[in-house]
Structures are given as C-alpha cells and as structure tokens.
Amino acid sequence: MALGVSTIVFAALVGWVTWKLYAFLKKREKMIRHVDRIPGPPAIPILGCAYQFKLDTIEFTYQLEEWGRKYGFMGDGSCGLMRIWIGPLPIVILSRDEAVKILLESTTQITKPPQYDIVKKWLGTGLLTSTNEKWRSRRKMLTPTFHFNILTNFIPTFSKQGEVLVKQIERYADKEEEFDLFPYIKRCALDIICETAMGAEIGAQTGKNSDYVDAVATLNHLIWHHERLPWMWLKPIWYLTGNGYNFDAALKMTTEFTRKIISERQNSFVKIDTSQPNSEEFTGKRKLAFLDLLLNMQSDNKLTDEDIREEVDTFMFEGHDTTSSGMGYAIWFLAQCPEYQQKVHAELDEVFGDSERLATPEDLKKLSYLEQCIKEALRLVPSVPIFARVLTEDFIYKDITIPTGVTVIAAPVTIHRDPKNWGDDPETFNPDHFTQENMSKRHPYSYVPFAAGPRNCIGQKFALLEEKAVLSTFFRRYRVTTEQNIVTNRPIPEVVSKPSKGFMIKLYKRVQI
C-alpha cells in the first residue's frame, strides 16, 4: 500500500516537472521564433552574440554602430528594430519614434530588466529600480519635491559651484595648450549633487573627500562592466576577477557616507510646510536639500531611514554623471562651432552685461539660445544612451510581435538621428533644431533624452537649470576651441555617455576678472 502511494506521488511529481519543463520550452520556443524574425548579428547557444563583443569599450562602441548599419535599424526601409542576444537573453532595440511612443507611453510596461539588479545593490528599490505599485506610490510622493519653486532654491548652489569650476581651470587660460575639461566638470557636478541632494559640501573640486569621489566613480564603472559582459553575472567569476570585491568596497563607502549624512541631518531637522511652496523654505531664504524634503515625509511616517537612503543615492546616481556628460558635451560642441559660441556670448552679455553677479531664476529664463545649445548637445549625445524595459505583456509593432519577458530598449542616440525628423545632416550640431518653429514640426517622441511617458526622468527640470546656471557662468568668463571632433572622439555608451578621449579644449579669457 505504501509502495503504491509512493509510486503515485513520484509519478505525479514527474508529471508536474515534465509539464513545467514543457511549458518553459514552449514559451522559450515562441520567444525565439518571434525574436529571431528581427534582424541582428549571429548568435550561438548559451553565449548568444556575446562571444563577438569587443572587450575594449571604444571598440565595442564601433561594433554596435557597425551592427546598426549592417542590420538596417537606422535605414528608412527597415523595421526600425534590431535584436541582440546577450547570453540566453534577447534584447530588442527600438530606433523609430512610433515604436518608442508605444513603449514609453504604456502604463504597464514600466518594469526594469534583470540587468538592473546590480544597480539595486546600491540603490535598493528606489524610484529608478522599483516597479508596479511601489514605483507608482513613490513617484507620486516624490513629484512635488521637483516643483519649480523648490528647484529655484538650488540655483545659488549651481552658480556657486560654477564659480569654483571657472577658478579651478583658470590656470589653463590663454596658454595655447589643450587640457581635458571632463574631470573638472565631473567634480563640479558631484559637488552640486551632494550639496543639493544631501546638504553636504564635499569639496570634490578642491580635493576633499577623495575616497567618496573615487568610490562613486568605481561603482559607475563596475555597473557598466557587469551589465555588458554576461559571464560577469556569475558570482564566482565576478569575485574571482576582483570586480565583486572592488564593487562591495565602493558600495560600503558610499552607503555609509550617505547614512552618516542622513543621521546628521536628522539631528538638526525642522519640519517644513510643504503645503506652501512659496513660503520661505522654498524661496532661498532657507538653504534646503532634497534630503530635507524626504525627512519631512519621514516625519509623516511615509518613509523609513533606508527608504531615504535609497532615494538620496538614486538622486546621486542619476544626477551626477548625467549632468557632467551634458555640460561637457555642450561646451565641447560649442568649442567646435565658434559661430554658435559667439551667439551664446552675445546672449549672456545682453542678460548680464559686465556684472559678475550670480545668475538668478529670471536670468536663466532669458537664456533661450543657451538652452537650444544644451538640447542640441543632448540630441547628438544623450546622457543616458538607452532606456530598458522588460515586457510584462506582448509588444506589437507593425507586423512584429515581441513576446512577454523580452527586454526592449529605446535608443535615443538613433532616434535623434532619424532624417525624417532631423533633416539630411542629422550628425551636425545645429542649435536651430530647437527653435519653437522647428520643434513644433517634429514627432513628440523624436527627442527623448530624458525618456518620456509615465516613467520619464523626474529630475529633467533640475538638470536643465543646473546646466544653464553652470554653463552661463563658464561662458561669461571664457571662450573655448578644440581640435577634436565626434569622429575622432567617439562617445562611449556606458551607463552614461562619455567621451572616449575626454574633452580636450583650449581656454581663453573673455575679460579680465
């Protein structure tokens, strides 16, 4: 009798396992069948296309561009899609505004792919990495903290750190020697994000807190390394190569620093009246940080200490390298185009005259041409080169079905070069692309440097104000030239776009300060 029961249980177990395996293989077969209808490079079992990946990041960038041309996702006659297998996981890249609109406007396709799991070790399940109801409630909660009246409170910090930047690089002025501007821009952006996010003046530009500065750089580098190479997803390899230990050490450094700042800020916290955005807390009479607004929510029992740590580090992650990339490329493109740089100088002279005062919110509103230049730099080199979603339901575009579970990527760098929207020479820097007249003629999803739809970048107004404030300070003092161009200095599409050879410029004082 016992043997009969055991046999039945064993048979049921075998049947269940067989059924689950059959269902998995059936689902896998469907996914492969649909995905492989999309053009892309050859793939092999287990490794997919990864066996072809160039290990050098610059060479890998060229490889992706070559695949894009070869498989036609930038051509007018193509379907606008390309697939790449990274190990056993397929990724489909969208490069048409119509397809991107379907993806980014969806209220259900908001889940980030498993490649973001490495980021979760740093950011937990903050706004960038959370999904479903947690993301929706957190987004709703945090949106008021980016009210324009709150953001204007940060403009003095933007301008102050811009002043530190122009003084740090003054030694290169009028020397007729090129230097790499990028490290200086990155440290400026880090000082800004630390002060506005945490209320902490870390002095990155003047050489203080170098351990924290180095740790943030290490995390960003290793996150990209982990995402790009599927064999790094295996923990033994991740740690045997030393990457895992370096990541953990940098992670410990950054999170402990953030927790220390939170604890110090809690001890001096005074509750803010968020129902009155025009009160003195929001008008610059009291120096606020993003952290203060989160602590205010904690006092209403909406956030825990760890919730706050996640959101502060998310703000750090999303707002540091992105703005340094955007500012650096805007300066670099203008260095190549003296006629546009001259227009920026003329606009600044009209607004500021000979005054050395810091920029005000009213000043920044008047800098429309500088804003056009910033947007054009973000068109050619979007700070975030891709936006990824893992499909929670089938995605249908034209006659192609991309099954549930596949990772889909919107690629602004290709969307921003579609001749349909950007003319016959989309590779050329031209701020006139962003006159009101020209913007009104284009598809609304032809320009998506901050994504779009419900999961767009919550900090895009912050980023634009920061860039305008810092760049207005920079160009009031200096004129720049460069011998580089985008052919010889290709952008590297890491987690954030970066120049492969830095921003090599020559610096000239406009006036004696």
Sign of CA dihedral 210, 211, 212, 215: positive
Burial class (CB in 10 A: 0-12, 13-18, 19+), 213: buried
Q: Which residues pair with 83 in a beta bridge?
A: 92
Query: How far, in Å, CA of 508 to CA of 179, rounded?
Result: 12
Residues 363, 125: Cα–Cα separation, whole Å: 38
How far CA 262 is from CA of 189, 312, 315, in Å, comes to 20, 9, 14
Strand partners, 408: 92, 389
Say if residues 159 and 359 touch (Cβ distance below 8 Å): yes
- From residue 22, alpha-carbon distances to 26, 89, 174, 403 in Å are 6, 19, 71, 18
Q: Dihedral through CA 395, CA 397, CA 398, CA 400, nearest 10?
A: -50
| CA distance linking residue 350 with residue 348, whole number of Å | 5
Question: Which residue ranges are tagged as binding site?
Answer: 457
Structural tokens at position 447: 């320009």
Give the SS3 label for residue 53: coil
Q: In what order do the strands lie in the sheet with 407-410?
A: 81-86, 89-94, 407-410, 387-390
Phi, psi (5° rounding) for residue 410?
-90, 130
For residue 491, the SS3 value is strand
Torsions phi, psi for 505 (to 5 deg)? -135, 160
Rounded CA-CA distance 402/250 in Å is 38
Binding-site annotation: residue ranges for heme: 457
Buried b (16+ CB within 10 A) or exposed e, 370-402: bbbbbbbbbbbbbbbbbbbbbbeeebebeebeb
How far is residue 491's CA from residue 381's CA, in Å, rounded to a whole number? 7
- Give the tokens for residue 131: 């999904």
